[in-house]
Structure formats: C-alpha cells, structure tokens
Chain A
Amino acid sequence: MSQKTVLYDKHVEYGGKMVDFAGWQMPVNYGSQMEEHHQVRQDAGMFDVSHMTIVDLKGERVREFLRYLLANDVNKLKEPGKALYSCMLREDGGVIDDLIVYYMNDGWYRMVVNAGTHDKDMAWINKQAPAFGVEVDERASVAMIAVQGPKAIEKAIQVLPLDVVEAVTDMRRFFGVDCGEWFVGRTGYTGEDGFEIMLPESEAPALWDKLAHAGVKPCGLGARDTLRLEAGMNLYGSDMTEETSPLVSGLGWTIAWEPQDRDFIGRAAIEQEREQGVKQKIVGLILEERGVLRGHQKVVVENIGEGEITSGTFSPTLKQSIALARVPAETGDTCQVDIRGKLLNARVVKPVFVRDGQAV
C-alpha cells in the first residue's frame, strides 16, 4: 500500500502524473519533464520532498554520537545552522545512506535521510543511539518543499511568513535556520540556489498554492533526477549502495580522515581499502554520438578493463546524453559504452556537468 504525502491532492489538482516511488505516491511530472527541468535552471521550480525522513537527534552526547555514526565529521560544524553532507556506513564500509545533517545547537542536530532507506536507516540509528543516550525523534508530521532555481529565493520570500523571511534574509548557502515550527535550509539537490522548507503538514498545501501563485512551478521526480545528475550529485541505490564503499562511489571527499583518532563506523574497512589501493572511481561521461546513456550499460575502456554506468540520462541543458559511471581507476579521457550491442564513444569528464545554470 503506497503512502501519500500531505500534498498528494495538490499534485493531482496541478495535473501531476503520479507514480510509486519508494512506497510513496509521487508526481513524476506535471506534463513535461523537460519544461520542468528548464524551469528550475532558468527560473524557479518546487518539489514535494515530504516523503524524505527528518530526524531530530538530541542529547548531551549527540555530537560524540554523530562523530561515531557518520563518515564525515560534525566537528566541522562550528556555526549554528551549518549543514554537512555525509555517508552513514556499515562496519564493512558499504553505504547505508547519504544524508544532510544540520547543527542546530550543542544538544540538537537535525538529519534528513532518503525515503527509500527509511526503515533500515531508522533501525540502524536507533541501534547505535542508546549507547550515547541520544534521543531519536522522527518528525513524520513535517512536510518539506524544495524551491529551486535562480529566482527561487526571490519568489519564495514573497510568500513566506514574515518571521521566516526575517530569519532567512542573508542566510548563506548550506545553512539552515529554525523558525519555530518552520525550518528553512539553503540547500537542495539540483545544482541551483534555493530553499528546502520544512513546515507543519497542515500548512503545506496553502504554501504550495502561494508558491505556485508567485510563479514557482511544480516539478516532478523526473526533473529532479535530470537536475541532480547534471549537477553531478549521487543518487542512493544507483551510484552507491550497501555493496559499494564511498571510495569507489565518488564520495571520498565526504570522508573526514582527520583526526586520525576519531573512530567512526566503517573506518577500519575503508582505511584498509585505501591502503590497498582503490580500484575503481566514479567519472562523468558525455556521449559523443546520438543515443542515451542509461544505468547498467557496460563501459569499455580500451586496454584497461570494463566498468558500468550507475546513472544515465539525456541532459536537457547540454542537449547531449550524460552519465555517472564506475570505471577502473586507471581510466583516462575516453571510453566506449555498449548500447544495445553497439560500442559508442564517450568522453570522460569530472562528474559535474552543470552548476548554477551554466555548463561546467
């Protein structure tokens, strides 16, 4: 039985084509995925991300707990509101999930984890928390709307409550602010500026209407995927899983190796992997011929070996097909991709294609 977010009726009202995603009824688009993509790159779009899991972690030893639970180090967070992207690892280094954690105050951190991994994430966190006396509070009755694009902030502040507007004014990127029952982060999953707004479910449908009235167009999961892929952002379950370590998933940059005496779950395994030499890497691919790169297509690197596409699509911004691929570490500037038995040439690039509306 699929779950519905509090905005389900709004999606239907706005013409959303509903599909099942991780056990939730979500809009894949409201007509044209392509138009929604361009809307976010050029103007402002909004996504219902209420299916994602918001978890508040509280306690005197909450920082110590998170320094053990996460591969990135929350000690980097010095200013209240600052956000950090991290992986949560198994003992063997496999990725349980990727997440954002906000430092609210010394006794309170807020975490946002994926919808598709909800059950195992909560089980894992709840298993580790008691040893640190940390209280785990899942905020199931909070809705979340992501407003993204070059004009997202300008349009959003026209309709946000005055106290929220005051709180978000001059907020820097990758910060969040608590405004009582609302919380606004200047974060996102599109490569564009914008807000992720958490608010009580009862107030979400009205905000959706007001944002739409201000010219922020509803966008579905389809555009969300092409936007994040252009921005080179990993998708859990495709680009990394429990079977892959962060080191072969393009996530080495999210691991805080220093200080060396910080013991975090998975540290021993990935340290060993690093010492033995990391055998694969995630790269970006741009298809130089006609066609569309898709997940699981085989990548052939001449004289070196083979790899696999982890996420692929047609890039509406570049008007070419792009992908993230896991390939042998020695891979150079070119490779070929097996599409229905034909080997097509692709260029190997850094895994980021578009940022702030511009091709990289």
Chain B
Amino acid sequence: MSEIPSELMYTKSHEWVRLESDGTATIGITDHAQELLGDLVFVELPEVGSDLAAGDACCVVESVKAASDVYMPITGEIIEVNDMLVDEPETINDSAFDDGWLFRVQPSSEVEFDDLLDADTYEAEIAD
C-alpha cells in the first residue's frame, strides 16, 4: 500500500502539491506513481521562470519501463527545480514526497487549489 500524506493535495494524474508558508507550492509525483513507473532513470525538469497553466505537461519522468509526463496541478511560474534529480532520479523512488520533489511554483491564483483532491479522495481514486 502506498503512502498518502494527509497534509498534501493531489491530482488524478498523480502529482502532489504542498502549500508552503510563504505562499509558494512544492510539487512532485506520488508514491503510487513511482510504484507504477518502477525504477526511475531520467528526469527532464521544467525551466525556471516559465509560466505554465494548470494541466500543461511540464516535466518528464522516465523509468526503465516507460516515459511519463508530469502535469502542472496549478497555474503559476516555476521558481525552483530539484536539480539533484538530474544525477539521482532514483531519489523519487526512495522519497517521493520529500527529497524527490520536482519543482516549486509561485501560484498565480489560489482559487485552483479547490480543484485539487484531498488525501482521502486521492486514495479512493487510486483504489482498484
């Protein structure tokens, strides 16, 4: 059973979002997503400074098995990316919700947070 921290928000496409105290949002893929993908070997991160809309494909994570797009859960500007993943993409397998974060966003509107799923809803979503 994969881990689903209750303090985070989620998307149906298996991204997680953590709202930080400074109003920015940290984004990654869920433990369930990394389990589905298997051993990660490559991450293509978005460019810092790019403005992206919710739903945009912004990042690619590839396992030995397959490539998968990561979608922007919310609209905003990319303000930081987790460069460590370039050399150590397997960090996502080991720590999807923590060291394996992908990028940070300055949200353009807070309204969209209402569209995200809470932990219970996401858990129901991925249940067989």
**Chain A residues proximal to chain B, CB less than 8 Å:** 28-29, 32-34, 37, 222, 226, 290-292, 294, 313-314, 316, 321, 340
Verify A340–B60 contact, CB threshold 8 A.
Answer: yes
Taking CB atoms, residues of chain A closer than 8 Å to B39 are 32-34
Given A222-B65, A316-B64, answer yes or no on A292-B38 (Cβ-Cβ < 8 Å): no
**Chain B residues proximal to chain A, CB less than 8 Å:** 38-39, 41-42, 44, 60, 62, 64-65, 67, 86
Closest Cβ of chain B to A25, distance in Å, is 15
Closest Cβ of chain A to B39, distance in Å, is 4
Verify A33–B65 contact, CB threshold 8 A.
Answer: yes
Interface core residue of A29, A34, A222 (most chain B CB under 10 Å) = A34
Taking CB atoms, residues of chain B closer than 8 Å to A291 are 42, 44, 62
Taking CB atoms, residues of chain A closer than 8 Å to B67 are 292, 294
Verify A222–B60 contact, CB threshold 8 A.
Answer: no
Verify B86–A34 contact, CB threshold 8 A.
Answer: no
Q: Which of B38, B41, B62 contacts A29 (CB 8 A)?
A: B38
CA gap between A226 and B39 in the complex, in Å: 13
CA gap between A340 and B64 in the complex, in Å: 17
Ordered by A's residue number, 7 sampled pairs between the chains whose C-beta atoms are within 8 Å are A33-B39, A34-B38, A34-B64, A37-B64, A222-B65, A226-B64, A314-B41
Taking CB atoms, residues of chain A closer than 8 Å to B42 are 290-292, 314, 321
Q: Which of A222, A290, A294, A321 contacts B38 (CB 8 A)?
A: A222
CA gap between A291 and B43 in the complex, in Å: 8
Q: Which of B44, B64, B86 contacts A314 (CB 8 A)?
A: B64
CA gap between A226 and B64 in the complex, in Å: 8
CB-based closest 9 A-B pairs: A34-B39, A314-B41, A292-B62, A292-B42, A314-B64, A33-B64, A33-B38, A33-B39, A32-B39
CA gap between A316 and B38 in the complex, in Å: 13
Residue of A nearest to B42 (CB): A292
Taking CB atoms, residues of chain B closer than 8 Å to A294 are 67
Residue of B nearest to A223 (CB): B64
Taking CB atoms, residues of chain B closer than 8 Å to A314 are 41-42, 62, 64
Closest Cβ of chain A to B58, distance in Å, is 12
Interface core residue of B39, B67, B86 (most chain A CB under 10 Å) = B39
CA gap between A37 and B39 in the complex, in Å: 11
CA gap between A33 and B38 in the complex, in Å: 7
CA gap between A294 and B67 in the complex, in Å: 9
Residue of B nearest to A32 (CB): B39
Taking CB atoms, residues of chain B closer than 8 Å to A340 are 44, 60
Verify B64–A222 contact, CB threshold 8 A.
Answer: yes
Closest Cβ of chain A to B13, distance in Å, is 18
CA gap between A313 and B62 in the complex, in Å: 10
CA gap between A37 and B63 in the complex, in Å: 14
Given A32-B39, A34-B39, A292-B41: 6 more A-B contacts, CB < 8 Å? A29-B38, A291-B42, A292-B42, A292-B62, A321-B42, A340-B60
CA gap between A246 and B53 in the complex, in Å: 48
Interface core residue of B41, B42, B44 (most chain A CB under 10 Å) = B41
CA gap between A226 and B66 in the complex, in Å: 12
Closest Cβ of chain B to A37, distance in Å, is 8
Closest Cβ of chain A to B124, distance in Å, is 22
Verify A290–B64 contact, CB threshold 8 A.
Answer: no
Taking CB atoms, residues of chain B closer than 8 Å to A222 are 38, 64-65
Residue of B nearest to A314 (CB): B41
Residue of B nearest to A37 (CB): B64
Residue of A nearest to B35 (CB): A17
Closest Cβ of chain B to A155, distance in Å, is 25
